[in-house]
């Protein structure tokens, strides 16, 4: 699980399971107890991983949820025929400048992603601050199964200054 939201869901499910197990009036068997311990260990690992998330991932997820989730979905899969997926695509994990240009200035041309063309216009998000753009692009480059270098606010500034409006 790569997102804080998923980790929170797992945590809450683990707590609910623990409460359910505790309310069985002593009917727990050894097997149920070992399952509970296993679930608690998994939840503890998830909490540790969530705590260790870099700040740009936490902040990037917030920006993603507010501005990107509707079109690109919570799992980064996009909407077939409309909005491209963000997982496993060169537009996300490849050239940083190309990704930043799309996020900052939008796109209204057909993008070929994983063999499919996506022509739904993407709005520009140049109104977001440099840190927000860096965080959200770093987030998508390292979520949904992606693993790529994060993007810095300085890299966002460089693209803004390179492309004069």
Phi/psi of residue 8, each to 5°? Answer: -65, -40
In this structure, what token pair is assigned to residue 140?
Answer: 């998508």
The most confident of the ranges 11-20, 50-59, 115-124 is: 115-124
Give me the helix-helix angle, 130-141 and 55-67, nearest 10°: 100
- Structure confidence at residue 23 (pLDDT): 38
Question: For the whole model, what pTM was predicted?
Answer: 0.68
Three-state DSSP class for 63?
helix
pLDDT bin (cut points 50, 70, 90) of residue 6 is low
pLDDT bin (cut points 50, 70, 90) of residue 17 is very low
> 37 vs 90, which has greater pLDDT?
90
Cα(84)–Cα(14) distance, rounded to whole angstroms? Answer: 33
56 with 138: CB under 8 angstroms? yes
pLDDT bin (cut points 50, 70, 90) of residue 109 is confident
Mean per-residue pLDDT of the chain? 78
Q: Look at residue 25 and tell me whether its pLDDT is greater than 60.
A: no
- Structure confidence at residue 54 (pLDDT): 73
**CA–CA–CA angle 124, 53, 128 (5° rounding):** 20
Give the whole-number percent of the chain exceeding pLDDT 90.
Answer: 55
- Structure confidence at residue 164 (pLDDT): 65
Across residues 142-160, what is the average pLDDT? 96
């Amino acid at each position: 699980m790569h997102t804080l939201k998923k980790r929170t869901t797992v945590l809450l499910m683990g707590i609910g399971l623990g409460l359910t197990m505790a309310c069985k009036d002593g009917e727990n068997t050894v097997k149920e107890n070992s399952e509970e311990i296993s679930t608690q260990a998994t939840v503890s690992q998830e909490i540790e991983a969530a705590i260790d998330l870099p700040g740009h991932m936490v902040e990037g997820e917030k920006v993603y949820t507010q501005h990107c989730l509707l079109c690109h979905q919570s799992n980064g899969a996009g909407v077939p025929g409309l909005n491209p997926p963000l997982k496993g695509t060169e537009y996300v994990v490849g050239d940083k400048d190309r990704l930043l240009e799309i996020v900052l200035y939008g796109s209204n041309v057909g993008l070929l992603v994983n063999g499919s063309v996506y022509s739904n216009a993407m709005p520009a998000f140049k109104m977001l601050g440099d840190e927000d753009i860096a965080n959200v692009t770093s987030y998508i480059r390292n979520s949904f199964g992606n693993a790529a270098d994060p993007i810095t606010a300085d890299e966002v500034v460089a693209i803004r200054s390179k492309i004069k409006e």
